Amino acid sequence: MALLTREIHIQSIRLSLQPFTASDAGEAYGCITPTLARFMSWDPPANRASFDQIYQSWLTSMADGTDYVFAIRQRADDHFLGLAGLHHLREDSPELGIWIREDSHGHGFGREAVRLVAQWAAQTMPPASFTYPVAEQNSPSRGIAESLGGMVIDRCEKPKYTAVIYRIPCPPAS
């Protein structure tokens, strides 16, 4: 069952996460660079029109309740930081994903955002666990999974890199 996305608001002291909307598109698109995407399974969109088609598919998936994409912002000033994803919600172990704009790397925003999404999902739709695919060479992202108790359960070859798949336990609902 799809939740009404306008009612979802996940917060910490530093961060505010809300479902992605068309009004987030310009900021998100402006932060997607080739170096940001080097460890992503996708490449940067060729142009804004291509990105518009991509985010429209996210809106459809959110309306269907199969995926959520959250815009991550700093609470203090509403500064756009990146996107967090919760995908394949009809599976026992939905997939977590994250990207943080390059000029905001190294501040723990990705770890905090993934933890918030996992905690929200544990309270809202308790999955058995989460999966977290990541490029084997992406040490900072691997650190996110490991900080949440993630263990490598598989490896696979992707077009751009070798990926490791983490299983992250579902945090206890608070």
**Cα angle: 127, vertex 37, 11; to 5 degrees:** 45
CATH (domain of 64)? 3.40.630.30
Q: What are phi and psi of 132, to 5 degrees?
A: -145, 95
Fill in the DSSP letter of residue 108. Answer: S
159 domain-assigned: no
150-164 pLDDT, tens digit each:
999 999 999 999 999
32 domain-assigned: yes
In which domain, by residue range, is 28 found? 5-127
Cα separation, 174 vs 134, in Å, equals 28
How would you list the strands of the sheet with 162-169, edge to edge?
A: 10-11, 15-19, 68-74, 80-87, 95-100, 129-135, 162-169, 151-157
155 domain-assigned: no
Q: Is the pTM of this model over 0.85?
A: yes
15-47 pLDDT, tens digit each:
999 999 999 999 999 999 999 998 888 889 999
167 domain-assigned: no
Cβ-based burial of 7 (10 A; exposed 0-12, middle 13-18, buried ≥19)? exposed
Q: What is the pLDDT of residue 1?
A: 41
Please state the domain count of the chain: 1
144 domain-assigned: no
The token pair that represents 64 in the structure block: 């269907």
Cβ-based burial of 118 (10 A; exposed 0-12, middle 13-18, buried ≥19)? buried
